[in-house]
Amino acid sequence: MMLNIEKSIKNVPTKRLFLLITTIVIFMFAGCMKSDQEKQFEIGPNIPAASGIINYETTENGNTKIKIKVKNLALPNKVRSEASTYVVWVISVKENSLPQNVGVLKVSENLSGEINTLTPHKEFEVFITAEAVGDVNKPSGEHLLKAQIIKQPKN
């Protein structure tokens, strides 16, 4: 009986070390699997104080989930007198297609905004325009912020 207790006591540090190493490896592996990527927007000359980032990742069904955050983005009517909102557009860089309106970017009084949206494209350009209304079919304004997304193949 004494022998079993001694073995148990001697194995406690080993078991803890094993658990610690296993936990670290699991977290490292989970971190490597995360496919979320980030890119800075290019800022147009009419909004020099603005900044923006786009996070994107592939969903389970193969679409691309997009999250856009902007700061110091002037209210739309300050950029273009007839504008009342910002519209986010996506256009494929592989196909010869038209830009697709994927949503309205609402800007708060503190000049920041955020939008989450989806696209079926893997390689695309995202750009933001100031528009009179949000449900337009084609962009009429200048590309104020833009970013090109080219996903890297997984190894």
Same domain, 71 and 19: no
How far, in Å, CA of 78 to CA of 76, rounded? Answer: 5
| Residue 155 maps to a domain | no
Domain span at 1:
1-34
How many structural domains are present in the chain? Answer: 2
Q: Look at residue 67 and tell me whether its pLDDT is greater than 50.
A: yes
The upper half-sphere exposure of residue 13, i.e. CA atoms within 13 Å in the direction of its Cβ, equals 2
Structure confidence by residue, pLDDT tens digits, 100-134: 999 999 999 999 999 999 999 999 999 999 999 99
pLDDT at 43 (0 to 100): 96
pLDDT at 33 (0 to 100): 41
Q: Look at residue 141 and tell me whether its pLDDT is greater than 70.
A: yes
Is the Cβ–Cβ distance between 70 and 52 less than 8 Å? yes
pTM of the model: 0.75
